[in-house]
A and B are shown apart, each in its own frame.
Chain A
Amino acid sequence: MLKRVHFGPSALPFILVAPQIIITVIFFIWPAGHALYQSFLIQDAFGLKTEFVWFENFEVLFDDEHYLGAFQRTFMFSILVASISMGFALMLAAMADRIVKGAMTYRTLLIWPYAVAPVAAGALWVFMLDPTLGIMTYALGGLGYEWNHKLNGNEAMALVVIASAWKQVAYNFLFFLAGMQAIPKSLIEAAAIDGAGPLRRFWTIIFPLLSPTTFFLMVVNVVYAFFDTFGIIHAITQGGPAKATEILVYKVYNDGFVGLDLGSSAVQSVILMGIVISLTVLQFRYIEKKVEY
């Protein structure tokens, strides 16, 4: 951590860390602590009396079927987003790893959606699948399927999943490709000499050796689906129809800023913090171990 050769104690290091620490305390630790504190309080309807109730707010929340529904939905949503975007990216990366000429050109053409803002990604897809005008809606209509995500909850979910996965393919592709290029070529050559075809080599050598990358990406994708997709959902469905796409982050925003139920929103924030902390710990513990096979 500390350099063997370093500067002695003085006021300078305190001045150097001060900006970072001040911002952290004012905008991170204080608000988070406040949310934690608020989540243990109950306020009467007129805001006159507040009472310390320990975990009652949490109990109320976990009895609320809307909240449990949002929980389930968030899990389904993040699993779908993670598996679709990772599957697609893995396939493309395996192909790009095989070819010698042009791999970098393909990389350029595949990674740019990373830079597209979630709201913009939402706008692109909602335009293509607009129930009356959308070009894909028209194509689906030609196939005899009537698409209307404004009425059908499953279609709304499908739409936000596709838009979210589309944006995340770039990131996954980049990491899968880097992971594959780090695998020693001698292993693959040895397998080829033993007569293993490309598919067999992929499943018995490349895929197992990629498992650290895969695990890392899984955590990153779940975090992405949990938190960064707010813009996509806000742009496309606003959580509707009938809450079909209301995930946890959206519910925190909706209950707090639209419904003005600050108490419940604080409790939900605390639960989300718990989820982020466990995911981060998972990721760090794992990375420290650096599993090898």
Chain B
Amino acid sequence: MVENRPMVTLISHIVLILGVLTIAFPIWITFVAATHDAVRMVQIPLPLWPGGMFFENLEQALLKGIEGATGLGVGFMLLNSLVMALMIACGKIAISLLSAFAIVYFRFPFRMGFFWMIFITLMLPVEVRIIPTFEVVANLGMLNTYWGLSIPLIASATATFMFRQTFLTIPDELLEAARIDGAGPMQFFKDILLPMSRTNIAALFVILFIYGWNQYLWPLLVTTDRDMYTIVMGIKQLLEAAEQAPEWNIIMMTTLLAMLPPVAVVVFMQKLFVKGLTETEK
């Protein structure tokens, strides 16, 4: 602090608290809605304080779902989302580590050509090439599979760049020393590079897990089979059903379930999250 001005500090706190409340208000309303029964949720005005139906709603959302939507609970959708998010995060990290290693530590023909090919993926988010990519995936018979959900999202320039950056800061002497000790390239990679990039891998994992979990447009296109729906798609299904018969308590419970894993990751791994966010976006 530069100077002691209690009034300004007080105002700062007040503004911040108001900001936090504004940001959190929708979540509070969602939580409250998830703790009341269906009857209460159609009486105006809606409640502002929690009721006692939290666990009943949780059970219904997970196992039964609501009439008019899929008629299924969302338990299996949580599992699908988890599998998809993990496949995307691990897949991206694995292929980016390998290609960054090749580009930084090897001299080989077309090295820069490959580098630019990877760079191009940065410019082609899935949203701008949905139809041709969908055709490719359909022709490969990957619709309604975990592979179809995750592999087209796995190639990533940002992760490759980040690992490239990390590797460039690792002193050359380490490679020289490893060579003198008789280590081959893969042993060097496994015993020196991987342990040295551990925190970067963890930080990237946090970001990619959130990215994977929250994917929406792509799963919407490649899954037609209910068994493959993800939880984020589940919310949309319920919202559509809400046009006829609103069961907001169950919809909001589902929304809470969909938000919980990625939000928990951000809150509990905040340090890694901030590191990952600031380093991948550079």
Stretch at the interface among B41-49, B56-64, B70-78: B41-49
The docked-state distance in angstroms from the alpha carbon of A216 to that of B114 is: 27
Contact A120 B125 (CB under 8 A): no
The docked-state distance in angstroms from the alpha carbon of A189 to that of B278 is: 27
Contact A115 B265 (CB under 8 A): yes
Main secondary structure of the interface of B (DSSP, over half): helix
Residues B142-168 near A (CB distance < 8 A)? 151-152, 154-155, 160, 167-168
Contact A31 B135 (CB under 8 A): yes
Contact A120 B251 (CB under 8 A): no
The docked-state distance in angstroms from the alpha carbon of A231 to that of B218 is: 11
Contact A265 B104 (CB under 8 A): no
Interface string of B1-28 (1 = CB under 8 A from A): 1110100110111011001100110110
Contact B130 A253 (CB under 8 A): yes
**What is the count of residue pairs linking A and B with beta-carbon distances less than 8 angstroms?**
302
Is A79 in contact with chain B by the CB < 8 A criterion?
A: no
Interface hub of A26, A95, A234 (most chain B Cβ within 10 A): A95
Contact A24 B121 (CB under 8 A): yes
Name the B residues within 8 Å of A125 (CB-CB): 26
Is B128 in contact with chain A by the CB < 8 A criterion?
A: yes
Contact B26 A20 (CB under 8 A): no
The count of residues in chain B whose C-beta lies closer than 8 Å to any C-beta of chain A is 105
Name the B residues within 8 Å of A175 (CB-CB): 278
Picked from B111, B128, B175, the residue with its CB within 8 Å of the CB of A273 is B128
Interface string of B95-120 (1 = CB under 8 A from A): 11011011111111101101101101
Is A14 in contact with chain B by the CB < 8 A criterion?
A: yes
Is A176 in contact with chain B by the CB < 8 A criterion?
A: no
Is A61 in contact with chain B by the CB < 8 A criterion?
A: no
Contact A96 B16 (CB under 8 A): yes
Contact B123 A273 (CB under 8 A): yes
Picked from B45, B185, B251, the residue with its CB within 8 Å of the CB of A135 is B45
Contact B118 A188 (CB under 8 A): no
Contact A109 B20 (CB under 8 A): yes
The docked-state distance in angstroms from the alpha carbon of A27 to that of B121 is: 9
Q: Which residue of A lies closest to B48 (CB)?
A: A135
List the interface of chain A (C-beta within 8 A of B): 1-10, 12-14, 16-17, 19-21, 23-32, 34-35, 38, 88, 91-92, 95-96, 98-100, 102, 106-120, 122-128, 130, 132-135, 138, 166, 169-171, 174-175, 178, 185, 188-189, 192, 198, 201, 216, 220, 227-228, 230-231, 234-235, 249, 252-253, 256-257, 262, 265-266, 269, 272-273, 276-277, 280, 287
8 contacts between A and B (CB under 8 A): A5-B172, A6-B105, A6-B107, A14-B108, A107-B270, A120-B255, A169-B23, A287-B282
